[in-house]
Amino acid sequence: MNLPKKLTNKLKLRDESNSLRSLKMPSDLVDFSSNDYLSFAKSEGIFDKTHQFLVDKNSKQNGATGSRLLSGNHQLYNVVERFLSDFHQTESATIFNSGYDANIGFFSAVPQRSDVILYDEFIHASIRDGIQLSNAKSFKFLHNDLVDLESRLLHFVRNDDSEVYVVTESVFSMDGDSPDLVTMSQIIKKNNAFLIVDEAHAVGVFSEGLVQKLNLQHAVFARIITFGKAFGCHGAAILGSKDLQTYLVNFARSFIYTTGLSPHSLATIRIAYNELQSNHQHQKKLTENIHHFLEEVKRLQLNFIPSCSAIHCCVISGNENVKLISKKLEENGFEVKAILSPTVPENKERLRFCLHSYNSKEEISKVLTLLHHSKLVSESHNSKR
């Protein structure tokens, strides 16, 4: 059966703007695109230890069998959530099936009709989708701009029936940069608002995450952490008070109305944390690679968005231009993803480099040298048009 005409037209517009997406199989190219920052996703050691952990716990079922409120709250949920609470120095950890589910569940359920959500203009799509499902009013503030944030906070006069929630990311997924969380938390506390921080791209890369690194865990109302990036597995958790956990269990629809994670998924999370705690070589090598990457960017005078994380972005305006340079890198053996509009704003298209513990310094130098040459060729070609 053919697609409805409206859907066909939307696909046609995507194609005409050179931004039509498609699924591709994994390649054997040098990886500068995945979120497997610490190489945990490919770790045979974690795989084997996960199996043994399940055997030791006498957990030999394949699935959760139902939602957590029905039959799916198997014993490993309590084991892993207790561990996460201790590790992240919080009262409770509530596991969701994914970061998307966690953000949808939180923002659709927690802010109420008379409340206000202030969100960074570059916030992740999953948070935006959750906000759209909320009955609260929402307003964006300029990216990492604390002056703009404070002016907006002052604009909303608090009363007994309203709360203000401020949401940001500790490492932004499309820029790799970070806000000044210390000053932000002080501004938010002064204005009696609630701070929510998405730490998807910080946990693991920065051990417990930037919130704990800065000793701000008690200044944050809720943290969203995910296990599909540095931890190399699946799932997410919302960290906060026990009362917040009780509320989410009762009102977060993406928690209530879905089958729970399998015991194997929970076991993998627990073993990945063991690896993080016991083997610091992964983080050490990743940190060394980040420093080398920054040195090479400076040497080659490349224009990257400032970042000290594992994500580094070179803005190359135009979907066609950035796809051509990505293709050139691919032809030379490197997988670097072109991030196109509308995922990012028009004229802010970019190459997104994700660094890993398993990348070599030689690979980093070579791919950046290729980028330098490809950009020069592209700029010369465009100037002659």
- CATH number reported for the structural domain that contains residue 75 in this entry: 3.40.640.10
Count of beta carbons in the 10 Å neighbourhood of residue 154: 10
Q: Are 34 and 229 in contact (CB under 8 A)?
A: no
Give me the sign of the Cα torsion angle 372, 373, 376, 381. Answer: negative
**In the chain, how many domains are there?**
2
pLDDT value of position 23: 85
Residue where a domain terminates, one of 245, 263, 278: 278
Do 363 and 291 lie in a common domain? Answer: yes
Per-residue pLDDT tens over the stretch 3-58: 999 999 999 998 888 778 888 888 899 999 999 999 999 999 999 999 999 999 98
Do 248 and 344 lie in a common domain? Answer: no
Do 333 and 239 lie in a common domain? Answer: no
Do 253 and 349 lie in a common domain? Answer: no
Do 205 and 216 lie in a common domain? Answer: yes
pLDDT value of position 206: 95
Helices then strands, counting H and E runs in the chain, come out as 14, 12
Do 289 and 266 lie in a common domain? Answer: no
Give me the domain span that covers residue 25: 21-43+280-383
Per-residue pLDDT tens over the stretch 273-327: 999 999 999 999 999 999 999 999 999 999 899 999 999 999 998 888 999 999 9
Do 136 and 269 lie in a common domain? Answer: yes
pLDDT value of position 26: 80
Asked whether residue 13 is assigned to any structural domain, the reply reads no
**Angle, helices 75-87/263-278, rounded to nearest 10 degrees:** 30
Do 26 and 83 lie in a common domain? Answer: no
Do 301 and 268 lie in a common domain? Answer: no
Asked whether residue 260 is assigned to any structural domain, the reply reads yes
pLDDT value of position 381: 46
Q: How far is Cα 176 from Cα 313, in angstroms, rounded to an integer?
A: 7
Residue where a domain terminates, one of 278, 303, 335: 278
H or E stretch covering 139: strand 137-141
Q: What is the CATH number of the domain that holds 38?
A: 3.90.1150.10
Residue where a domain terminates, one of 278, 294, 311: 278
pLDDT value of position 115: 95
Do 222 and 343 lie in a common domain? Answer: no
Do 285 and 220 lie in a common domain? Answer: no
pLDDT-flagged residues of the chain (< 50): 377, 380-381, 383-384
Asked whether residue 302 is assigned to any structural domain, the reply reads yes
Do 274 and 293 lie in a common domain? Answer: no
H or E stretch covering 352: strand 350-354
In percent, the amount of the chain with pLDDT more than 90 equals 83
pLDDT value of position 364: 97
